[in-house]
């Protein structure tokens, strides 16, 4: 029987790359998206074309009712959940903290932190051996910004990812006897569409000369780390933060 994986924010970038890689390794994949239905369906189409199983689910992870509905759809269409990748996230335009509105700060934490916690809660309710589940794995997508702070750019984003790091460590330790491993990957500068949403579409290439490897990473390179953490090959790894930064 296929393992069942839910990926939030799976229509582009790291989420889409993870969906394709996991499907190639036998996971049935649920691809969550918020707005771009055609992009999510294209990822699913690519997976199906290779003989895999994929569905798409629209839900805003910051909305509890939508999260509950999304997990119910996974239950109904794919069966018992085996794994969760909390990848959905947002950035905003570069700004100093004194320029940031309350609405921006709330959006940053509602999606990047509360959304991940809500999804993790629902995954635990399904996967935990304490609740009759068969165990599983959760990978949270954090960022190296959590340790760098992102001054003058998006301190709010860095702070949100710092919260994800703490959540990963705490939840991982909380679930050690429940059959669930919880880890995070902390990507560095990765060449994906997220930079455009922050108003800097060329940011990854512009920063390349400052990076030890002199190049940004790819979504596929981060996906490899995520899928390893989901796999039985990482059976003794939990409550851990894995940097995928090219040495940054």
The C-alpha atoms of residue 148 and residue 248 are separated, in whole angstroms, by 10
Active site residue 236: no
E strand intervals along 19-172 = 27-33, 54-58, 83-86, 136-141
Instruction: Count CA within 13 A, CB hemisphere, residue 53.
Output: 15
Tokens describing residue 14: 């790291």
Identify the helix (H) or strand (E) that includes residue 1. none
Instruction: Find out whether 33 and 11 touch, Cβ atoms under 8 Å.
Output: yes
The alpha carbon of residue 1 and the mean position of all alpha carbons in its chain are separated, in whole angstroms, by 24
The alpha carbon of residue 152 and the mean position of all alpha carbons in its chain are separated, in whole angstroms, by 25
Q: Which of 27, 33, 157, 236 is catalytic?
A: 157
φ, ψ at 27 (rounded to 5°): -80, 140
Tokens describing residue 133: 């589940």
Active site residues: 157
């Amino acid at each position: 029987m296929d393992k069942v994986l839910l990926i939030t924010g799976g229509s582009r970038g790291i989420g889409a790359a993870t969906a394709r890689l996991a499907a190639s390794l036998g996971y049935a994949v649920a691809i969550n998206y918020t707005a771009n239905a055609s992009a999510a369906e294209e990822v699913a189409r690519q997976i199906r074309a290779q003989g895999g199983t994929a569905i798409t689910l629209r839900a805003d992870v910051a909305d509890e009712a939508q999260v509950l509905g999304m997990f119910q759809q996974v239950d109904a269409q794919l069966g018992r959940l085996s794994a969760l990748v909390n990848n959905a996230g947002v950035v905003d335009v570069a700004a100093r903290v004194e320029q940031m509105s309350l609405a921006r700060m709330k959006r940053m934490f509602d999606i990047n932190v509360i959304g991940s916690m809500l999804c993790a809660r629902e995954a635990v309710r399904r996967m935990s051996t304490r609740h009759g589940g068969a165990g599983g794995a959760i990978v949270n997508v954090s960022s190296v910004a959590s340790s760098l702070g992102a001054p003058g750019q998006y301190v709010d984003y860095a702070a949100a990812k710092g919260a994800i790091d703490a959540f990963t460590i705490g939840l991982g330790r909380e679930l050690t006897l429940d059959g669930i491993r919880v880890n995070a990957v902390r990507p560095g500068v990765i060449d994906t569409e997220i930079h455009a949403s922050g108003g800097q579409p060329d940011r990854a290439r512009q920063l390349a000369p400052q990076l030890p490897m002199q190049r940004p990473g790819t979504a596929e390179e981060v996906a490899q780390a995520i899928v390893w953490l989901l796999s039985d090959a990482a059976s003794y790894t939990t409550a851990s933060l894995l940097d995928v930064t090219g040495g940054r």
